[in-house]
Structure 1
Amino acid sequence: MEYQLDLPSEKAAASHGALSKGLSSRQITMISIGGVIGAGFFVGSASAISAAGPAVLVSFGIAAVLVVLVMGMLAELATANPDTGSFSTYAQQAMGRWAGFSIGWLYWWFYVLVIPLEAIVASDILGGWLGVPSMAVGVVLIVGLTLTNILSVKNFGTLEYWFSLIKVVTILAFIGLGVFAISGLLPSSSASGVGHLWQDGGFAPTGLPGIASALVLALFSFTGMEIVTIAAAESEDPRANIRRAIRSVVWRMLIFYFGSIFVIVALVAWNSPRLEVGSFQSALEVMGIPGAAGIIQAVILVGVASTLNSAIFTASRMGYSLAVRRDAPQSWAQTTANGVPKVSIFYASAGALILLVANYTLPQAVLVPLIATIGTIALVMYLVIAVSQVILRKRAIAEGRALIVKFPLFPALSYFTLAAIVSFLVLMAVVPGHQMELLVSSVLTMVLVIIGVILQKRDRG
């Protein structure tokens, strides 16, 4: 069964060329993992730990439940109709052009901004190692990965597979060493046991406000899992790959996040000054691993390159999908002989390069205030997925059409998920430090919605 969508311009867009089917199942899984595990995972987790203490595990647990529910809803939608536009296409099917337009462009902007953010982290590391200007390194990195993306989707998939595999092996090794250290079986470790989980002020030293603050940070750390549904559209059997990859990605990421965070809060006091250099580096130093700083820098570099690579892929595919649906310049739907959306890749990377250069050359950094514009992207995306699933599931039931994957306990669990997402948005409004993000990103979202409504009315007029 496929949810139907009448798009008269699809044939015109398809005349430019269709996307390749060159991604394998294992590459799709690794692409999604690569999109989630970036610099923020290895460095930014310290902020969540500092906010909630050991109770950060509760924050990640609550966030994980919501993510599992949303990914279940997305699995139902994506297996019914595999599409490069993923939730943007499903929003258009369910609610109209305005919904697909607004969430599509918001998501595109998010990943165009992720590219220079990750490039800055990588360029600062490489620039320090090589003694060359950071901006030059960032430009070379973006251009190099852009060329890799343009050559063929197989090249991109292969590169991303190995990038992500390095991160996975590193995280598993970290968790393994941590378990040995906690068990007292690592001679070099200066700490053992799990006393830090309740010492230093208790399990939740900052109380509910701290857990709430870390909850917001934890939720955004899972952003990227949805890439699996975008990538799967470029495989030979997208429905089977979506089912397999979503299940695999969700549980692997939960193990990686919970295992790593548990090791860190067990070995390092939540209020330790060590966390200022990063949570993973702090834990490795406590374990007595020589060269911890260099190891983490190398891993961060690989992680950043991987996330940057995935960001170029994701932004370009969403741009391509928007073009197919007449919501972006039609040239963005043009593909190479290898089925790669070359124009869409070019514009995504060009936008990222402009932001990168501006950040280094203008008197004031431009990326920091721009980050606020994407503060609610994860929650808005989840809200769109949930609303689309409810509408399209009801439509499928009314028309008597079968579904390959069914989100369980419908409609009760769907409405529960919707209520949880709205609760998270309310939480952002009351938790200190997130109000400005909510305000700015809400304004951007509303502007896009208004433009989308105007375009939809023009279609009907």
Structure 2
Amino acid sequence: MEPRGFEIIAEREKGLRRGLSTAQLSMIAIGGAIGTGLFLGSGFAIGFAGPSVLVSYAIGALIALLLMGCLAEMVVAHPTSGSFGAYAEYYIGSWAGFMVRYAYWTSIVIAVGTEVTAIAVYMKYWFPGIPGWYWIVGFSGALMGINVVSVKVFGSVEYVFSMLKIAAIVAFIVLGAWMVAGAPSSSGIGLANYTAHGGFFPKGVWGMWVAVIVAIFSYLSIEMIAVAAGEASEPRQAVTRAFRATVLRLVLFYLLTLALMLAIVPWTAAGTDQSPFVKVMVATHIPGAPGIINFVILMAALSAMNSQLYISTRMMFSLARAGYAPRRLGQLNRHGVPVAALLLSAIGIALATVVNALHPDTSFILMMAISLIAPMFTWFMIFVTHLFFRRRHRGEVLGFRMWGYPATSLLGAGLMLGALLTTIFTREFRMTLLFGVPFLAALALAHRLWRRGRLQALGSEDQVLG
């Protein structure tokens, strides 16, 4: 049973339709986490670390696994769309709930822009002469329409997108394994590529650790499952099942695909001009294969963008219902969709359109660097919130229990903090903290002003009542 104080938070977020099944819940998490980070960002990570990127993604997977364990425990206790923002508010304080919700909303809004920027890169494969912002506007309009209709339509479309993506990755793994196993030694394909160009750690341990930042970016959105649980038909059962399935699939897909990619194409050929997956398909010399895989990763980016639009809309809905945003953003249409929150959450698309028009060649890396601060802060705060959660529930029997507490929560928080501090020492990610520190300071100031206004309003009410 929920603590009395949390019932108030759960009550104010009622109204959303519980129309998502366990399978759809799993696909939403996979849809968000298997997207641009794997299909395009992995090339960037390989450039940092070389073959040791496998270690980088293993560390990222460990952090994601720890995070999902903490989240699953809290979600089973309190399934609500406010999710970790609501938990931070209840277990730490209103400032934490305010900052986590707004930071996460901002991160997903910008992530939408990152995905749609990648879509412009993919479309260049077929239409190199058409400006990327044309595609950004066109595809964004279509996905906005899907999100306006209803959560069931969204869930069905996302399920199809994610199934296509998973089928493509499985096919890639089978084809890649066949190529590596049957390639002659003179072909340049094989496990020898792991050490052929400067060894397994060609950029040293530092390069491997920097690539962890990209790995974390790749796994970001796995936490969507906690937000979507607020609209699951059987949230407690769905979350525990989806948690196990999602983590297993992500670790398997990321590490296997990267291992095969590095064996087929030398790491020195990686880059962000096009997806490494397309480069692998070119190496197969199968007619039409590069175009097919480019289409699949286009669908993957659309899938991730679709999930992110959904999640950012629900987080803004939660902010409005908590009184942290205008009341209108918490209103639902007749299908149970917060349309005003959806429209506001599309500002990342506008940002991506402008950045792509001004800096078409570097827009993806720039968008990724800017977008990192808020989700990394959010992940760090989820681990901290879990520490407060378990302290409050000490000695209680919980529906799902995170193993290894408190060591696992502390390890996750430490790794996230280390990765965040690393960004300032890298040229590519320096913008993360240069943008992020003023951003978090602005959020703290905004909460202080909000709280002062709230206290003044309550004081005025007391005077009238008195």
Question: Is TM more than 0.5 here?
Answer: yes
Distance change (3 Å), C-alpha of 1:286 and 1:356: closer
**Matches for 1:166-181 after TM superposition, within 5 Å:** 166-181=164-179
Match of 1:358 in 2: 354
Whether 1:455 and 2:450 are equivalent positions in the alignment is yes
SS at match of 2:109: helix
265-274 or 213-222: bigger deviation: 265-274
Asked whether the equivalents of residues 35 and 311 of structure 1 are also in contact (C-alpha less than 8 Å), the reply is yes
Asked whether the equivalents of residues 190 and 288 of structure 1 are also in contact (C-alpha less than 8 Å), the reply is no
Query: Offset at 1:150?
Result: 1.2
Match of 2:300 in 1: 303
Match of 2:428 in 1: 433
RMSD: 2.7
Q: Give the distance between the partners of 1:156 and 1:422, measured in 2 at CA.
A: 34
Match of 2:238 in 1: 241
SS at match of 1:22: coil
Query: Offset at 1:6?
Result: 5.6
Query: CA-to-partner distance for each residue in 1:229-276, whole Å, 9 max, x for gaps?
Result: 111210111111111111111110001100100001112211137885
Gaps in structure 2 of 5+ consecutive residues: 457-466
Aligned pair partner of 1:211 in 205, 208, 212: 208
**Matches for 1:178-257 after TM superposition, within 5 Å:** 178-184=176-182, 190-257=187-254
Match of 1:97 in 2: 94
Asked whether the equivalents of residues 117 and 356 of structure 2 are also in contact (C-alpha less than 8 Å), the reply is no
**Matches for 1:2-401 after TM superposition, within 5 Å:** 2-5=2-5, 18-123=15-120, 125-126=122-123, 129=126, 134-184=132-182, 190-272=187-269, 277-349=274-346, 351-359=347-355, 371-397=368-394, 401=396
SS at match of 1:271: helix
Q: Give the distance between the partners of 2:202 and 2:122, measured in 1 at CA.
A: 34
Percent identical among aligned pairs is 32
Query: Offset at 1:294?
Result: 1.2
Asked whether the equivalents of residues 3 and 80 of structure 1 are also in contact (C-alpha less than 8 Å), the reply is no
Query: Offset at 1:127?
Result: 7.5
SS at match of 2:345: helix
Asked whether the equivalents of residues 372 and 441 of structure 1 are also in contact (C-alpha less than 8 Å), the reply is no
Query: Offset at 1:368?
Result: 6.9
SS at match of 1:233: helix
Asked whether the equivalents of residues 370 and 431 of structure 2 are also in contact (C-alpha less than 8 Å), the reply is no
Query: Offset at 1:191?
Result: 4.4
Match of 1:412 in 2: 407
Query: CA-to-partner distance for each residue in 1:110-140, whole Å, 9 max, x for gaps?
Result: 2222223323433465577578664344323
Distance change (3 Å), C-alpha of 1:352 and 1:209: closer
Query: How many equivalent pairs are there?
Result: 453
Distance change (3 Å), C-alpha of 1:339 and 1:287: same
Asked whether the equivalents of residues 31 and 161 of structure 1 are also in contact (C-alpha less than 8 Å), the reply is yes
Q: Give the distance between the partners of 2:406 and 2:334, measured in 1 at CA.
A: 44
Distance change (3 Å), C-alpha of 1:75 and 1:150: same
Letter in 2 for 1:355: L
Q: Give the distance between the partners of 1:371 and 1:271, measured in 2 at CA.
A: 22
Q: Give the distance between the partners of 1:306 and 1:113, measured in 2 at CA.
A: 16
Query: Offset at 1:366?
Result: 8.4
Distance change (3 Å), C-alpha of 1:447 and 1:30: same
SS at match of 2:267: coil
Query: Offset at 1:448?
Result: 0.6
Asked whether the equivalents of residues 223 and 378 of structure 1 are also in contact (C-alpha less than 8 Å), the reply is yes
439-448 or 370-379: bigger deviation: 370-379
Query: Offset at 1:415?
Result: 2.3
Asked whether the equivalents of residues 167 and 303 of structure 1 are also in contact (C-alpha less than 8 Å), the reply is yes
Distance change (3 Å), C-alpha of 1:194 and 1:373: closer
Letter in 2 for 1:161: Y
Query: Offset at 1:460?
Result: 5.1
Gaps in structure 1 of 5+ consecutive residues: none
Query: CA-to-partner distance for each residue in 1:316-358, whole Å, 9 max, x for gaps?
Result: 0001111111111111111122222222112223x24533453
Query: Offset at 1:414?
Result: 2.3
Asked whether the equivalents of residues 107 and 373 of structure 2 are also in contact (C-alpha less than 8 Å), the reply is no
Letter in 1 for 2:445: I
Q: TM-score, normalised by structure 2?
A: 0.89
Letter in 1 for 2:268: N
Asked whether the equivalents of residues 79 and 239 of structure 1 are also in contact (C-alpha less than 8 Å), the reply is yes
